[in-house]
Amino acid sequence: MSREIPLLSIICTAYNQESYIDQTLKGFVSQKTTFPFEIIVHDDASTDGTSSIVREYASKYPDQFVTIFQTENQYSKGDYTIDRLVYGVAKGKYIALCEGDDYWIDPFKLQKQVDFLEKNHDYGLVYSKVKVFNQKDKKFLKKPFGSPFRSIEELFIFNYIPTPTVVFKSVMYKDYICDINPYEKKWLMGDYPLWMYIASRSKIKYIYNSYSVYRLLESSAAHSPDFRKELSFVESYAEIKLYFMHRLGYTHLEKTIRANCFVNKTRIYLFKNEKDISELVREIDKCDTKSLKINIIRSVISSRILRNMLKLYWSR
């Protein structure tokens, strides 16, 4: 492909993904499109062979690849790397995201999604369901992840949008950075608040196909063997929801958001820190109203373990 102004920019962030990055990059260069696209790979100072594999692809496809190799890990420093990528490097009208351990399985993924956005200007983002591959068990889960939602209120409750499936307008991202300034908020999720912002500004399209694979690893931002890290992730998830709840005027959802956060934290305590239930009791004590406590109980009433634990608490 000749050096043309790309219609779309693929952004891939990678760190120590030597075992997976080849499959990721192969999915990029296999895309068949009628428009030019660029592939931006940001390697965050990997200590394995990830950067070598990226360099091999960049050498083979010099007209498509734009590479950034860090000498110090920026994520550990709290650096919001993707901001600089989109502003300073990405040239496309549209952005596609895929991390270095996920991959695409449909060579026409980008063409189908861009075709839709080009014909439907009131839509800001398009996504699909994703197949989930459990790396530990070396097999796909029976049920894919990702489904349509009818309103932004549903997106407040659950993140329906798998990151490796999306294509969105780059102007939406630039507006998001200017309006929200997410890097100052220190949120632990980079994708979900962006989805919330785009959903508040435009329509979002769900396509009933699987174009991508999400690799479920034992350790990631959302899944960690360290229960403290997983708790922090759940708390940040709720913080994002509460921020947009106030910003967009959906304050009637506060009880549901806080109850869901409590339920998720309860699962972590039960399955990863069973010996320290006292902390969970203190979490219940933080509930500021009786109605919120009742809402929490309703949220967990279907679980026998949680129900018994709450009985112990209320009988103190």
* 89 and 173 Cβ atoms separated by less than 8 Å: no
Which SS3 state, helix, strand or coil, does residue 132 take? strand
**Using CA atoms, how far apart are residues 120 and 167, in angstroms rounded to an integer?**
13
For residue 186, the 8-state DSSP code is T
* 73 and 85 Cβ atoms separated by less than 8 Å: no
Looking at the predicted structure, is the pLDDT value of residue 287 above 50? Answer: yes
Looking at residue 10, its pLDDT comes to: 97
For residue 183, the 8-state DSSP code is G
Which SS3 state, helix, strand or coil, does residue 251 take? helix
Which CA distances in Å does 142 have to 131, 133, 165, 166, 245? 9, 10, 18, 22, 33
Share of the chain above pLDDT 70, in %: 78
Looking at the predicted structure, is the pLDDT value of residue 274 above 60? Answer: no
119 pLDDT tier (thresholds 50, 70, 90): very high
* 248 and 284 Cβ atoms separated by less than 8 Å: no
Q: Give every CB contact of residue 250 below 8 A, 6+ residues apart in sequence.
A: 152, 153, 156, 244
Looking at the predicted structure, is the pLDDT value of residue 209 above 60? Answer: yes
What value does the mean pLDDT take over residues 123-145?
94
Q: How many residues does the chain have?
A: 316
**Using CA atoms, how far apart are residues 130 and 143, in angstroms rounded to an integer?**
9
**Using CA atoms, how far apart are residues 191 and 176, in angstroms rounded to an integer?**
11
Looking at the predicted structure, is the pLDDT value of residue 9 above 90? Answer: yes
* 123 and 203 Cβ atoms separated by less than 8 Å: yes
Query: What does the pLDDT look like over 139-169, one tens digit per residue?
Result: 999 999 999 999 999 999 999 999 999 999 9
For residue 218, the 8-state DSSP code is S
- Per-chain mean pLDDT for the chain: 85
What value does the mean pLDDT take over residues 269-275?
58
Query: What does the pLDDT look like over 15-47, one tens digit per residue?
Result: 999 999 999 999 999 999 999 999 999 999 999
For residue 68, count other CB atoms closer than 10 A to its CB.
Answer: 17
